[in-house]
Structure 1
Amino acid sequence: MAAQDRARVFVSLGMFIIDEFQFHDDDDRPTGRTLPPQESAPRGGTYAALGARIWLPPAHVGMIVDRGTDFPEQIQRKLDVYGSDMWLFRDHKDRATTRSLNSYRGEHRHLRRFQYTTPRLRLTPRDLLETKFRRPEMLHFICSPTRAAAIISEVAENTGWNPITIYEPIPDRCIPEELQPLVDVLPSISVLSPNAEEAMSLLSIPGSPTKPLIEQACRRFLEYGVGPQGEGAVVIRSGALGAYVATRAGGDDWVPAYWSETEAPERVVDVTGAGNSFLGGLGAGLALAGGNIVEATLYGTVSASFTVEQEGLPRLTETRVEDGVAIEQWNEDSPHSRLIELQERLRRQGST
């Protein structure tokens, strides 16, 4: 089989979105600071694809990028650095690129509001047909539960294609009214991954996230039957608390955050895209760790660590070849070194 005909390991159906930012103080008053589009970063599926790209070569990752008439040259140059083969560019001469406005509040930049400022152009599995991204091993999507069911239905139309599905519920649909549609689609989801606040909101669990409440939420999702034959996994992304991962088959663990706002506040510069990047890394980790979901969560945690260190996308800072193998550094550090360190931290955590 020719290299270009091999199935991609990880493909995201997340839209390519160009972000703009506004910042507010703790009392929600505008600070006057903004970031114009050319200084901001594309988000959504882009961060997920790059979370996987940190571990995988460009030919193993995929994402469709819809370029409007206003597509910034600066962003084009940024994307090309990661390897042109991971992108499929579709040009549109009659519309603008999808854009959004993110409003943040307070010193730690908690998201206040997200809104689209141009029309969306959503992607579905049918968009992958007849492209180099057809039938990937893992399919990532960010959407409402109802839309997730439509995506799963399109996957089922492709006889013989049974990808690992990594579902990230869209934040504004993580409300109690969406719980039943989520329950309906869960048997077709391999990995469900809301963040802690989203999980608690879906389940109408009051209060601020704590480890016991997050574990309770995870158990409830598992009881609803995640994955074919109930063999899926739930990974609840929990910020400074880390990530809680559990499977219906048994076994659960807390994976610590690599950086946290409490222990290393100077390293947590901007959390935009961290959750997306985490899930891209998790997808790559599932492939590299033979399906071990706890190990895959370590890969996701490392990917997120590179995303939060700066405003915008992580930087590919060095590539060299040793014994025929490409060795890369991101943000002038080694993902594999961070992975080893995190594995040791998890081992020590388990021995206490």
Structure 2
Amino acid sequence: MASSQRPQFVSLGMFIIDEFEYLDDDGRPTGRSLAPQESQASFTCYQLPAEKVGMIIDRGTDFPLWIQEKLDSYGPTMWLFRDHADRGTTRALNSYKGDLRGFKYLTSRIRITPRDLAGTRLAHPTALHFICSPSRAAVITSEVHAEPGWDPITIYEPIPDRCVPEELPALIEVLPAISILSPNAEEALSLLSMGPTVTRSAVEEAAARFLEYGVGGNGDGWVIIRSGSLGAYITTRRKGGQWIPAFWSDNAEKVVDVTGAGNGFLGGLGAGLLLGLGDVYEAVFYATVSASFIIEQEGLPRLSAAEDASELWNDDSPQRRLEELRARVGQLKL
């Protein structure tokens, strides 16, 4: 496939229908309820044509029509649907107990690997995103290396329940094959046995240690640690580190549901790598804006068109937010 015909960004993340329960600190239901939602693994890659991004969606016999219509509104060419007549769609339970979030699958999983892309329009993307355990990441990167002529930017998001110190040796083994490592702050600190308190200095130390462990091998690997209201910290061996503030850092009322913020962030990063001509620092601006649209409602953001036919997300312009964020960072540097 010619390079110009390749998709820019493909995620190997599973499409999951999320269910929710909310408990108080003593484990009692709070009374809050939320209907099942489409998984935020359906990332936000704004300002890219639908044919430039994609993911596989495994549709079970219970796949809701309203989710299908929502996905189609983003551009049906973005999705590669696979129908399963013998099972339901993958589902998971997100449980919130006080400030703690739990996650468990309610159905069996259908893992997706690079081999599933072969022979499809999603084959050989420029950037490949995957969220899994370190051992699964090793399998994925080995499949990538087995494809002659394909050398994608690999964007690895460690799965939360494997971000424990026992997984660090396996993570170190796979890091040379990873272009961009992006855990969130709690996950990064847990992997490195650094304690639960998230501070800027702790995040910077964690990122430096991941670089020392070999992200990117002999190339210029990147570490991006997503740190909630603190923003995102990005660092590399050659250029050093920089903080990009969270878009809603000064407006907590806009943060409605952070479920899927990491997926949205990395989808935006994939768009930013193309629109920013490969500049990973620039791509983080796009990633931050993408996450801002994910967290300001429950479920996926709403896509529409302005009078000039430009894209609007939740009735706001991604380009406007991008320019606002750039201006804010420029003022911080003065």
SS at structure 2 position matched to 1:15 = coil
CA contact (8 A) 2:15 2:57 kept: yes
Q: How many angstroms apart in 1 are the aligned matches of 2:73 and 2:61?
A: 22
Q: 2:12 maps to which residue?
A: 13
Supply the RMSD in Å over aligned alpha carbons: 1.6
1:212 counterpart = 2:201: yes
Give the direction of change, closer, same or farther, for the CA distance of 1:113–1:295 in structure 2 (3 Å limit): same
Give the direction of change, closer, same or farther, for the CA distance of 1:136–1:71 in structure 2 (3 Å limit): same
User: Map of 1:153-302 to 2, 5 A cutoff?
Assistant: 153-260=142-249, 263-302=250-289
SS at structure 2 position matched to 1:329 = strand
SS at structure 1 position matched to 2:87 = coil
Shift of 1:28: 3.9
Shift of 1:93: 0.3
CA contact (8 A) 2:47 2:311 kept: no
2:281 aligned partner, one-letter code: V
Structure 1: state its 5+ residue gaps: none
Shift of 1:287: 1.2
Q: How many angstroms apart in 2 are the aligned matches of 1:316 and 1:344?
A: 25
1:277 aligned partner, one-letter code: G
Shift of 1:239: 0.1
Of 278, 281, 290, which residue of structure 2 is paired with 1:303?
290
Give the direction of change, closer, same or farther, for the CA distance of 1:98–1:146 in structure 2 (3 Å limit): same
Q: How many angstroms apart in 2 are the aligned matches of 1:252 and 1:112?
A: 29
Of 80, 84, 95, which residue of structure 2 is paired with 1:92?
84
Q: How many angstroms apart in 2 are the aligned matches of 1:61 and 1:200?
A: 31
Q: How many angstroms apart in 1 are the aligned matches of 2:65 and 2:196?
A: 45
CA contact (8 A) 1:102 1:111 kept: no
Q: For each residue in 1:21-46, what CA deviation from the matched residue of structure 2 results, as whole angstroms up to 9, or x when unmatched?
A: 11123444211332233xx2223x31
Q: 1:346 maps to which residue?
A: 329
1:33 counterpart = 2:13: no
Q: For each residue in 1:176-228, what CA deviation from the matched residue of structure 2 results, as whole angstroms up to 9, or x when unmatched?
A: 01111111111110000000000000000024110000000000001111114
Q: 1:312 maps to which residue?
A: 299
2:69 aligned partner, one-letter code: R
Identity, % of aligned positions: 61
CA contact (8 A) 1:226 1:248 kept: no
CA contact (8 A) 1:225 1:248 kept: no
1:298 aligned partner, one-letter code: F
2:65 aligned partner, one-letter code: E
CA contact (8 A) 1:145 1:181 kept: yes
1:274 aligned partner, one-letter code: A
Shift of 1:302: 0.1
CA contact (8 A) 1:230 1:248 kept: no
Shift of 1:111: 4.7
Shift of 1:275: 0.7
**Greater alpha carbon shift after TM alignment, 212-221 vs 24-33:** 24-33
1:42 counterpart = 2:39: yes
**Greater alpha carbon shift after TM alignment, 228-237 vs 149-158:** 228-237
Give the direction of change, closer, same or farther, for the CA distance of 1:266–1:112 in structure 2 (3 Å limit): same
Q: How many angstroms apart in 1 are the aligned matches of 2:330 and 2:25?
A: 38
SS at structure 1 position matched to 2:47 = coil
Q: How many angstroms apart in 2 are the aligned matches of 1:198 and 1:207?
A: 9
SS at structure 1 position matched to 2:225 = strand
Q: How many angstroms apart in 1 are the aligned matches of 2:269 and 2:313?
A: 17
Structure 2: state its 5+ residue gaps: none
Shift of 1:332: 0.3
Of 127, 131, 141, which residue of structure 2 is paired with 1:152?
141
SS at structure 2 position matched to 1:34 = coil
1:346 aligned partner, one-letter code: V
Stretches of 4+ aligned residues off by more than 4 angstroms: none
Q: How many angstroms apart in 2 are the aligned matches of 1:140 and 1:58?
A: 16
TM, length-normalised to structure 2 = 0.96
1:80 aligned partner, one-letter code: D
CA contact (8 A) 1:316 1:329 kept: yes
Q: How many angstroms apart in 1 are the aligned matches of 2:273 and 2:77?
A: 22
CA contact (8 A) 1:166 1:189 kept: yes
Q: 1:332 maps to which residue?
A: 315
TM, length-normalised to structure 1 = 0.92
1:73 aligned partner, one-letter code: L
Instruction: Say how many residue pairs are matched.
Output: 334
